[in-house]
Structure 1
Amino acid sequence: MIDVPVLIVGGGPVGLTSSIHLSHFGIDSLLVERHPGTAILPKARGLNARTMEMYRQMGLEEAIRAVAMPDRFNAIIWSETLAGAEINRLEPGRAASGRALSVTTNCGCSQDILEPVLRKRAEDAGPHRLRFSTELIDLQCSADGVRARIRGADGNEEDVRARYLIAADGSQSKIRHQLGIERDGEHDVYDSVNIHCRVDLTRWVTDRPARLYLIEQPDLRGTFMTINGTDRWGFLVTSLSHYGFAPEQFTPEFCTDIIRRAIGANDVPVEVLGVSAWKASALVAQRYRSGPVLIAGDAAHEMPPTGGFGLNTGVQDAQNLAWKLATVLRGEAGDALLDTYDEERRPVGQAVTHSSLLNALSMGRTSRQDRAVLPRKEFLNEIGLVFGAKYESAAVVSDGTTLHLDDPVVQYVPSAVPGCRAPHVPLTRNGESLSTLDLFGRGFVLLTAPQGSAWRDAAARTQGPAIESFVIGDEIGDASGEWLKAYGLDADGVVLVRPDGHVAWRSRGARENPAHAFGAALDAILCRSTSESPA
């Protein structure tokens, strides 16, 4: 019998990120993945700035960028063939906007390149706690946890007992089906084939680098997806049945012909590395928690890739969930804290899935349109979806401030209103530049100005998780002089930031009894039984 606090089912980016987070928080886990290794096809290819903030805080940004594609591949180009004249060009607005809002930027890194980086970190952090070629064959849930049976490639079976289980087992999640969790949305919006290929396209792309090259022909809609920008590409054929294609047609010879047709050159050598047929759907689970089981990633939300939100939303699920599991398992929070995972992340899943569906419909890449059209204005301008998630749950103590945006998909205003992502502000420490974001991600963080020292003393006397305190304007310099304004504080105010970088609570100024006020707020955030009011 293997006894472990958390069992993770699924070894993709969401499962691996969950494992890394839990190890960081000192929580043991076991990850099982039925495939023998990490992804062999590119699948998702882009990490948005919010995801890169998370990986930066985990110490993984440099390792990811070291294997990623060059930053210059950002544009989106439409043409009849790759060799032909451009029909249209789009420079993603959210990439430019993000540079002013974060200490990091988007990163083009395909899933087959990203996963080995994550796997190595997970294995280094939790030796012998990742098992590939291992399948979950039975699962029993109770109020006390889960009992599972796993089978390795050698046929040997073992029993596992865990207090909680993270189901990161993909869009066809067997665990979600077993739990009877239904999904809302649209099934089978369009069908597609991904062709992973080796073909040298440098003569057509060197002078016009782009992330996507959308090929628009009357009887072919395809997309060249940049992987390394030279000789490794994905080619996505969209709406197969609408244009008379069937997945079984896509032999290596047929794939070579259709790629050459999309290039506009019949003599280009093409090596087909892999072919994957799939159907795009826009579906969100009706609940993310069922007792000791919490579902994440594609198991929780399946969306069209138009906009590039699938992987990003999934790994951010893991970020939200891991610190809550750790705090509960350490006895520092009530089990009800885990209910806030659904309350916070399901609305995000619904918003990005709906937006991704609208992107797909607007681009004429489904059977609902017969002609090519340019995307809606929101496409790749979704800065609000990238940075603007505002959580409303028991794990956030409201201060009564409301935010109103005319279009929360494309609009984002940095704010330290409780529930929001804590804003990026340039700071200095020991003569070196850093960001407020560099202070987050390892645990709870308390930020005060020099006049707010009473809050720091109050936090030091409070029972519960370790809280790291920083005095901005003392040991950490306010390089721009904008920190108090950006966080909406008076000189004697305070803000408490959660391990996932979202504001949990703030007091704009001093309180008569700071220890009482802070303790009551922390009890509320951690869902601990208390008769005290957090207000």
Structure 2
Amino acid sequence: MPNENPGVLVVGGSTVGLCTALFLSRAGIPCTVVERHHASPAHPRAMGIGPRTVEILRAAGLADAVDAQCVDMTGSGLQMFAAPTLADADLDEEARRTPPRDDAYAGLTPQSLRGTCPQGRLDRVLIEAAREAGARIEFGTELRDFTQDEEGVTARVADDRGAREIRARYLVAADGARSGVRDRLGIGTSGPGVIGDPLISVLFRADLSALTRGHTFVVCDITTPEAPGGLLPVDGDTEWIYHFRYPRASGTKAADFTPERCAERIRAALGRDTGVTPEVVSILPWQVRGLIADRFRSGRVFLAGDAAHAIPPVGAFGMNTGVADAHNLAWKLAQVLHGTAHEALLDTYEAERLPVARSALEQSTLRLKDPSLHWATGPEGRARRAAAGALNAPVVHLGYRYASAAVLGAEAEPPSTEDVARNLDGAPGSRLPHRWLPGEEGVRSTLDLVDGRFTLLTGPTGTSWLDALDKAASFLGGVPADGHRIDDGAWTAEAGIRDSGALLVRPDGFVAWRAESLDPAPEACLERVLSALLARP
């Protein structure tokens, strides 16, 4: 039973586990992923990639590759609409009477995707990138047991060749809503639990071009009593998902939905007279769940993604919250494993991500009861959300703030529940404000300047900060840090730093500390700040 010694062992090889491995490997941390399934599943479990996830993918150089895997919805404008069957839907008229949706992220984020992206396609991009970065990804390998001590975690895994041990400094559990790691640790959960009736998701192939007539959409809500459900494009052409509920009280079981029965139901949903014969590829029973782990850390083991929080699908907050978990945790593990931060920095993972996950769960649950809270726009939408205690979706995705020991002077409550731009104001704990900047390397976003390092941004008269950063980082043992002067008065005013102030941004793109003007002793100031942020004595 040979031993292996990665810095981090990741349990679970879906999106969140793969992102964790990618970010760690890019930071120079040896990482192994074990996944009990023999391949990445072809049946999509999520479709929507949120703006913060796009930013994270951009930082890893993958946004364009993922965009190429998306359904092209740039010319459609159709989001969610309802019709008795797809054949009954007048998509031309639907497109004419659907007002153009305001781009809530215009000017706030450097990149967007052209449409939805099936999770399996996203994962294939992540697998290739993580392996190229140096991660070891083992499908068909199951975690059997693990123990931890003061120095690390010993995991016993097994594959077709037999059992072996892996010795890692830390373990990240990204093994899903029914996490075996969470159960072994004895970590409880809270939340609504199982919500509503069970569902069936059917992946099928069919040429629906005669029915869609060149239109793409996010979801068509089929209302015919014969086959109510939701129709979603996988490739926008010949691959589709049809999902529907079945009453638990009826005595029907998931096994009763054979491929033949599912195909018959899909024909009814498309329209009986269409002549379309769907080819059922796979059938996935599933259940909406809402839960959050009581703790995200136990010693040297961390929970991420669905293992930490299972979030209902309305709003696309689940997978995206998990990707942000991975991004948050990876830079902290890297700093600790490289010896530039004290182990206490890892306590800030739970302190930051658990409140964000709790908010995402609350917001998705509200939308599950009333989906219009998500889709409604204008004054009516704002009024409905205010009455229900709901946040506008851009605020959920981008407008949250961190409050922990890894943020100095944090303002935990963002100023707006509707206008995400007001929340991205340079305040400590918020995501760095985006602005396009010209330069010798071409036009870049302020977010692009943060390349996995602490980054100091200052105004046109704050160059003393930059010299001080080099000295402070060197004094502290070579903390990876970089600095940039920004000669854009509008941006520095927006970020709250004036011409001589500074923002210190963490490797994950969140503002760690802000100085409105130049400190009389900038080098000593930055030494104190970096020491505090890295939990160094």
CA drift of 1:409 comes to 9.1
Residue 179 of structure 2: aligned partner: 173
**DSSP-derived class of the 2:223 partner:** strand
Give, in whole Å, the separation in 1 of the partners of 2:342 and 2:358.
27
Give, in whole Å, the separation in 2 of the partners of 1:456 and 1:123.
35
Give, in whole Å, the separation in 1 of the partners of 2:116 and 2:491.
31
Q: Does structure 2 retain, via aligned residues, the 8 Å contact 1:307–1:359?
A: yes
CA drift of 1:149 comes to 0.7
**DSSP-derived class of the 1:268 partner:** coil
Deviations 1:411-435 (A, max 9, x none): 8532110000001112111273221
Deviations 1:470-508 (A, max 9, x none): 1112xxxx4xx4211121112111111111110001101
Give, in whole Å, the separation in 2 of the partners of 1:210 and 1:297.
27
**DSSP-derived class of the 2:72 partner:** coil
Distance 1:406 1:345, change over 3 A: same
Distance 1:4 1:406, change over 3 A: closer
Distance 1:397 1:492, change over 3 A: same
Residue 370 of structure 1: aligned partner: none
Residue 398 of structure 1: aligned partner: 409
Q: Does structure 1 retain, via aligned residues, the 8 Å contact 2:36–2:140?
A: yes
**DSSP-derived class of the 1:450 partner:** coil
Residue 267 of structure 2: aligned partner: 260
CA drift of 1:209 comes to 2.3
Give, in whole Å, the separation in 1 of the partners of 2:41 and 2:454.
34
CA drift of 1:448 comes to 1.2
**DSSP-derived class of the 1:45 partner:** coil
Deviations 1:16-51 (A, max 9, x none): 111111111111111111111112211111111111
Q: Does structure 1 retain, via aligned residues, the 8 Å contact 2:227–2:268?
A: no
Matches within 5 A, 1:7-86: 7-72=9-74, 74-85=78-89
Q: Comparing both structures, which one devotes a greater share of its residues to strand? A: 1
Matches within 5 A, 1:59-138: 59-72=61-74, 74-85=78-89, 96-106=103-113, 107-126=115-134, 129-138=136-145
Matched, 1:325 2:333: yes
Distance 1:49 1:243, change over 3 A: farther
Matches within 5 A, 1:283-432: 283-363=291-371, 381-398=392-409, 404-405=414-415, 407=417, 413-430=423-440, 432=442
Give, in whole Å, the separation in 2 of the partners of 1:51 and 1:380.
19
Residue 218 of structure 2: aligned partner: 211
Q: Does structure 1 retain, via aligned residues, the 8 Å contact 2:399–2:414?
A: no
Counterpart selection for 1:142 from 142, 149, 162: 149
Distance 1:470 1:411, change over 3 A: closer
**DSSP-derived class of the 2:73 partner:** coil
Which amino acid in structure 1 is aligned with residue 503 of structure 2? V
Distance 1:489 1:438, change over 3 A: same
When structure 1 is superposed on structure 2, of 74-83 and 496-505 the one drifting more is 74-83
Q: Does structure 1 retain, via aligned residues, the 8 Å contact 2:229–2:243?
A: yes
Residue 449 of structure 1: aligned partner: 459
**DSSP-derived class of the 1:482 partner:** helix
Residue 378 of structure 2: aligned partner: none
Q: Does structure 1 retain, via aligned residues, the 8 Å contact 2:193–2:291?
A: yes
When structure 1 is superposed on structure 2, of 378-387 and 443-452 the one drifting more is 378-387
Residue 198 of structure 1: aligned partner: 205
Give, in whole Å, the separation in 2 of the partners of 1:380 and 1:255.
37
Deviations 1:183-241 (A, max 9, x none): 11012102111100001112222354211111123464310111111110011113543
Give, in whole Å, the separation in 1 of the partners of 2:245 and 2:101.
25
Q: Does structure 1 retain, via aligned residues, the 8 Å contact 2:416–2:423?
A: no
Residue 275 of structure 1: aligned partner: 283
**DSSP-derived class of the 1:233 partner:** strand
Q: Does structure 1 retain, via aligned residues, the 8 Å contact 2:172–2:303?
A: yes
Give, in whole Å, the separation in 2 of the partners of 1:243 and 1:359.
26
Counterpart selection for 1:515 from 488, 509, 523: 523
Distance 1:432 1:375, change over 3 A: closer
Q: Does structure 1 retain, via aligned residues, the 8 Å contact 2:392–2:417?
A: no
Residue 479 of structure 2: aligned partner: 465
Deviations 1:86-129 (A, max 9, x none): 698897998711123111124411011111110001111116x1
When structure 1 is superposed on structure 2, of 279-288 and 137-146 the one drifting more is 137-146
Give, in whole Å, the separation in 2 of the partners of 1:240 and 1:409.
39
Distance 1:118 1:95, change over 3 A: farther
Distance 1:95 1:112, change over 3 A: farther
When structure 1 is superposed on structure 2, of 496-505 and 458-467 the one drifting more is 458-467
Residue 496 of structure 1: aligned partner: 504
Q: Does structure 1 retain, via aligned residues, the 8 Å contact 2:345–2:535?
A: yes
CA drift of 1:143 comes to 2.6
RMSD: 2.5
Distance 1:452 1:363, change over 3 A: closer
Give, in whole Å, the separation in 1 of the partners of 2:392 and 2:404.
28
Structure 1 runs (4+) deviating above 6 angstroms are 86-95
Give, in whole Å, the separation in 2 of the partners of 1:119 and 1:347.
29
Give, in whole Å, the separation in 1 of the partners of 2:515 and 2:415.
24
Give, in whole Å, the separation in 1 of the partners of 2:383 and 2:499.
44
Residue 226 of structure 1: aligned partner: 233
Q: Does structure 1 retain, via aligned residues, the 8 Å contact 2:66–2:122?
A: yes
Unaligned runs of at least 5 residues, structure 2:
373-380
CA drift of 1:288 comes to 0.4
Q: Does structure 1 retain, via aligned residues, the 8 Å contact 2:424–2:433?
A: yes
State the TM-score, normalizing by the size of structure 1: 0.90
CA drift of 1:376 comes to 10
Give, in whole Å, the separation in 1 of the partners of 2:270 and 2:470.
63
Give, in whole Å, the separation in 2 of the partners of 1:197 and 1:243.
26
Q: Does structure 2 retain, via aligned residues, the 8 Å contact 1:222–1:235?
A: yes
Unaligned runs of at least 5 residues, structure 1:
365-373, 530-535
When structure 1 is superposed on structure 2, of 266-275 and 71-80 the one drifting more is 71-80
Give, in whole Å, the separation in 2 of the partners of 1:380 and 1:508.
30
